[in-house]
Amino acid sequence: MSVIELRGITKNFGETRVLTGIDLDIADGEFLALVGASGCGKSTLLRIIAGLEDQTAGDVKIGGESVNNMRASRRNLAMVFQSYALYPHLTVQQNLLTPLLLRDLSSHQRLPVLGRLMPGRRSRMAELNRLVEETAAVLKIEPLLGRKPGQLSGGQRQRVALGRAMVRKPTAFLMDEPLSNLDAALRVHMRSELSDLHRSLRTTFIYVTHDQSEALTMSNRMAVMIDGRIVQLGTPEQVYGDPQDIRVAEFVGSPKINIIPGRADAHGRVTAYGTPLHKGLRATNCDVSVGVRPEHLQIAPGPENEGWPFLVTHKENLGSDFFLHGNINGSDHRIIGRFQPSAVAQIAPGDSIYLRAIASTPIVFGEDGLRMPLVAN
């Protein structure tokens, strides 16, 4: 079993607190993404799980056993780094074989000449080479085994780095932004390959990324980290569709969510720039922020249909979709709408139209930035 439990993890670097009271349970075989902006503490948390960094306070358990005082090499966790960290002078086969040699051969058996004469070495080496060949077959890198890293593309080097982690059959894979060095098209391809690999291995993956699209497309659950805390933990669908904090709503989603100033009246009815949203709050007479995803905006025939006046300043063609950028209600407040090409074919920059939010889609946040529950009017 590879259940990983974190309890009260805190980390200070001198006077600077990087992590504050992290509690997290990672299930056996789960693909969990730690996602957040640079500096939020996600890589530090991963290094603490790996044993490469000591926590200031708190406990790490793997399979129910505390590993606080256990060296990284004994935790049976495989780390995949952003830089690949391959040995440039070794072939792919030798790169895959190296961690097995260090783990499974004695210091005498690893000697260059005398080691070959040690009892049991030959049979052990045959078994280790078999593991390397099995791993290469899974990753489809058998033709690359004789090459050195400098002769490989970025995607091939990434597969080799994964293979070097896989060959040890670890309890869990810890991945620190492994796709960030790849170009955009290859990143999309490798996301699919990593997802397929996780399904076939059924091993725990903990994946650190600042790219929310990677977290949304690959993970079973995602933990959104902000300022050293996990602000929201849930499935990608929950985090995207039901954000509990305005910071989560703004971080997850591309283009980012539109935040529009609003007001709840004495009956809790919400309006945004004077347009009623047919939503009510338990709270009354308070300022709120209304979140509307770009894909939840639609073109309205006119103000009588409760739309916002919208001046189109830019029309962005993404092929399958168009983004309309502009200002609402004659203000400097800019929002973005996402539309099918047929819906905006006749619209050009400089046009004035009306936009409205699709019923039930607006999300309301209080002045403290936390989600405010809606009630029926």
pTM of the model: 0.88
Average pLDDT, the chain: 91
What homologous superfamily is domain 257-375 in, according to CATH?
Answer: Nucleic acid-binding proteins (2.40.50.140)
Kindly state the average pLDDT of the residues 68-97: 90
Q: What is the pLDDT of residues 138-149, one digit of tens each?
A: 888 999 999 999
Mean pLDDT in residue range 247-252: 96
Top pLDDT among 83 and 215 is at: 215
Nearest one of 107, 135, 131, 142 to 121, comparing CA atoms: 107
| Chain segment 147-183, per-residue pLDDT in tens | 999 999 888 888 899 899 888 889 999 999 988 888 8
Domain ranges for the chain: 4-247, 257-375
DSSP-derived secondary structure letter, 370: B
Residues 75-86, mean pLDDT to the nearest whole number: 87
228: Cα separation from own chain's centroid: 16
For residues 201 and 166, what is the distance between their CA atoms, to the nearest angstrom? 9
The pLDDT value given to residue 227: 95
pLDDT in tens, 324-336: 999 998 888 999 9
Digit-coded pLDDT (tens) for 24-47:
999 999 999 999 999 999 999 999
Statement: 4-247 belongs to CATH 3.30.420.40: no
pLDDT score, position 1: 55
- Looking at residue 117, its pLDDT comes to 67
Confidence check: pLDDT of 302 > 80: no
**What per-residue confidence (pLDDT) applies to 11?**
97
The residues, any chain, with a CB within 8 Å of residue 80's CB and separated by 6 or more, are 161, 162, 165, 173, 174, 175, 176, 178
Higher-pLDDT residue of 102, 199: 199
Q: What is the pLDDT of residue 305?
A: 64
How many whole angstroms separate alpha carbon 247 and alpha carbon 264? 21
Alpha-carbon distances of 279 from 80, 112, 245, 262, 283, rounded to whole Å = 47, 75, 19, 12, 12
Mean pLDDT across 245-251: 97
